[in-house]
């Protein structure tokens, strides 16, 4: 197939949700820089409004502003006549039926809208709920632009490859339809969120489309983080043989110009290290969440344990150590070593550090609250264990109020899953930085952070985890060993396996039943937790919507 030479700028950028004027300014900036030497500039899905805009899409004023934005970009294109601009935006259908809105890719040039393609496949699984807002395209069409026939699609439209899915969600394949119509170049604009291992799946999907249809394929993906979702970029170009010819950076903005008549293997192939990806995703997620919410500083409760140490290291890397305050708050049951390790961590990171003992406050609680609860002097139970956590939460939130620093809570996915956390205590905060990171992966992440020097004290990594809310407490007194617990959680939450299925793969039935019951029972806690950064294939909250007031037995008992 003959393909006319085109120079195309791939704009892998970080839009802010709702900041329509700011996002348009980015379009204008890139267009001004590259319009003289390119034929087309490609931006990502819903770029003018940022992704995901969620229920902003249900606000009439927001759609009116979005429509004005489309017109602004159209007018802007008149200033740069040599280059077309392809971008994503919501477009009103003006139909009396349906939801009245499309997720659209719009091509403008010389002050005119040249072509509009609406999104065909609207995902409603995992973190996506596009069927709540958009109507699907009635059809897909090719467009001739600068002597090249383009097949334009939007994100999910390329995810329906029958060779990779045992059960297909959608009956149609927009990419196949565009190929049959004679598309010479496929362009997909995306806002595809990050999850560990997902980049390999995207790679295989796009490579398969290019090979199958013998058509080069351009994939331009959003980068940055919005709320719980992290976008890793990794925009890609494949030649008609399915060879990767261009790969944009992961977790950072980039604008790259490609020539469609110049194909060669990419300088580096798509090779990903899990801990490096996880580290970069979490630091990006923390940085963008704070920046886009108007915060510049963070405060963290440092216990001397591995979870708070990892969050402290991530925060220092994300926003700079000068913007992080670590506070350790020893109670009567805290080991002296814990305070020492927290201080050593703070020194290694170069962050501000304070020691605020909570024993006087805890003694006051026990003295005045104990009789009301019918407790004997010196008695300790779950209520008074949680009092310690809530005192610490109050102290952290007080510093947040006083200094306008966001509290980063430090609970991991294993704890959040089983309820091994305290409402209004260690769950207090504005962002749950590692709530989608299982405990076993927290250990691996800590070792990655220490790859070049000892940032997290080795003793923090090696000693048995403990909440230190009662004498001689360790996590294994209340939880299964973390390697077993995390394996069960992965099977149950991410793979949706039943109890019987987990037993068949070699797990103890009683342990599995205990974990499953704990996950189900503690949904009410997770419903009240801070937003958490999604890094696995199925995260609590945005990625897993379960009822709280419910009773079910999984059909296994």
Could you give the count of Cα atoms lying within 13 Å of 319 in the half-sphere of its Cβ? 25
- What's the token pair of residue 322? 């000068």
What is the sign, positive or negative, of the torsion defined by CA atoms of 226, 126, 279, 48? negative
- What's the token pair of residue 144? 């001739």
Burial (CB < 10 A; 0-12, 13-18, 19+), residue 550, is exposed
- In the chain, how long is the greatest CA-to-CA distance? 87
Catalytic, out of 155, 228, 297, 525 = 155
- What's the token pair of residue 272? 């990903």
Rounded to an integer, what distance in angstroms lies between the CA atom of residue 283 and that of residue 296?
14
Q: How far is CA 265 from CA 218, 241, 247, 254, 526, in A?
A: 14, 11, 10, 19, 46
| φ/ψ of residue 200, rounded to 5 | -70, -35
Rounded to an integer, what distance in angstroms lies between the CA atom of residue 325 and that of residue 521?
34
Catalytic, out of 7, 119, 413, 513 = 119
Residue 45 bears catalytic tag: yes
Residue 119 bears catalytic tag: yes
- What's the token pair of residue 293? 């919410």
Q: How many residues does the chain have?
A: 557
Q: Which residues contact 510 (CB under 8 A, 6 or more apart)?
A: none
The backbone region for 19, taken as left when phi is positive above 0, alpha when psi lies in -120 to 50, beta otherwise, is beta
Residue 155 bears catalytic tag: yes
Q: How far is CA 114 from CA 109, 393, 555, in A?
A: 6, 56, 55
Q: How far is CA 508 from CA 485, 499, 512, 513, in A?
A: 11, 10, 6, 9
Q: How far is CA 252 from CA 245, 248, 383, in A?
A: 19, 9, 45
List, edge to edge, every strand of the sheet that includes 406-409.
352-355, 324-328, 298-301, 406-409, 431-432
Rounded to an integer, what distance in angstroms lies between the CA atom of residue 131 and that of residue 123?
7
| φ/ψ of residue 311, rounded to 5 | -65, -40
Partnered with residue 247 across adjacent β-strands are 236
**Are 319 and 478 in contact, with CB atoms under 8 Å apart?**
no
Catalytic, out of 45, 228, 385, 415 = 45
Buried b (16+ CB within 10 A) or exposed e, 369-400: ebeeeeeeeeebeeebbbbbbbbbbebbbebb
Rounded to an integer, what distance in angstroms lies between the CA atom of residue 102 and that of residue 90?
6
Could you give the count of Cα atoms lying within 13 Å of 28 in the half-sphere of its Cβ? 15
| φ/ψ of residue 50, rounded to 5 | 80, 150
Instruction: Cite the active site residues.
Output: 45, 119, 155
């Amino acid at each position: 197939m003959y393909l006319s030479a085109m120079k195309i700028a791939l704009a892998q950028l970080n839009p802010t949700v709702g900041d329509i004027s700011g996002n348009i300014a980015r379009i204008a900036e890139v267009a001004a820089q590259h319009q003289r030497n390119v034929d087309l500039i490609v931006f990502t899905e819903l770029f003018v409004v940022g992704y995901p805009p969620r229920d902003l899409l249900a606000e009439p004023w927001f759609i009116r502003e979005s429509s004005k934005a489309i017109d602004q970009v159209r007018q802007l294109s008149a200033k740069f006549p040599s280059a077309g601009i392809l971008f994503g935006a919501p477009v009103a259908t003006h139909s009396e039926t349906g939801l009245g809105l499309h997720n659209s890719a719009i091509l403008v040039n010389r002050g005119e809208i040249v072509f509009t393609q609406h999104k065909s496949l609207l995902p409603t699984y995992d973190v996506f709920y596009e069927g709540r807002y958009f109507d699907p395209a009635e059809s897909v069409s090719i467009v001739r632009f600068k002597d090249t026939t383009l097949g334009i699609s939007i994100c999910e439209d390329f995810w329906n490859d029958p060779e990779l899915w045992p059960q297909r969600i959608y009956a149609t394949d927009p990419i196949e339809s565009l190929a049959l119509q004679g598309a010479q170049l496929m362009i997909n604009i995306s806002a595809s969120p990050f999850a560990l291992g997902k980049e390999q799946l995207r790679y295989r999907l796009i490579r398969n489309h290019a090979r199958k249809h013998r058509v080069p394929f351009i994939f331009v993906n959003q980068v940055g983080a919005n709320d719980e979702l992290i976008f890793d970029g990794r925009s890609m170009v494949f030649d008609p043989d399915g060879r990767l010819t261009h790969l944009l950076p992961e977790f950072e903005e980039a604008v790259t110009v490609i020539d469609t008549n110049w194909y060669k293997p990419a300088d580096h192939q798509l090779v990903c290290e899990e801990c490096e990806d996880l580290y970069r995703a979490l630091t990006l997620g923390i940085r963008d969440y704070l920046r886009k919410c108007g915060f510049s500083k963070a405060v963290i409760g440092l216990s001397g344990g591995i979870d708070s140490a990892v969050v402290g290291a991530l925060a220092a890397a994300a926003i700079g150590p000068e913007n992080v305050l670590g506070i350790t708050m020893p109670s009567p049951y805290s080991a002296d070593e814990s305070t020492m390790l927290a201080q050593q961590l703070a020194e290694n990171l170069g962050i501000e550090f304070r020691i605020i003992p909570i024993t006087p406050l805890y003694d006051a609680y026990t003295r005045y609250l104990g009789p009301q609860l019918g407790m004997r002097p010196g008695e300790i139970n779950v209520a008074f264990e949680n009092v310690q956590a809530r005192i610490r939460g109050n102290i952290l939130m007080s510093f947040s109020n006083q200094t306008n620093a966001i509290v980063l809570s430090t609970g991991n996915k294993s704890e959040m899953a089983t309820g091994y956390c305290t409402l209004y205590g260690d769950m207090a905060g504005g962002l749950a930085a590692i709530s989608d990171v299982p405990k076993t992966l927290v250990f691996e992440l800590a070792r990655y952070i220490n790859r070049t020097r000892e940032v997290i004290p080795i003793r923090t990594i090696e000693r048995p985890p403990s909440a230190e809310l009662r004498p001689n407490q360790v996590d294994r007194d209340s939880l299964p060993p973390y390697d077993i617990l995390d394996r069960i959680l992965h099977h149950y939450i991410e793979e949706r396996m039943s109890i019987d299925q987990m037993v068949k793969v070699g797990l103890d039935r009683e342990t599995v039943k205990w974990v499953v019951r704990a996950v189900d029972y503690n949904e009410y806690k997770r419903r009240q937790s801070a937003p958490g950064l999604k890094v696995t294939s199925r995260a609590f909250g945005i990625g897993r919507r379960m009822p709280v007031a419910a009773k079910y037995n999984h059909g296994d008992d």
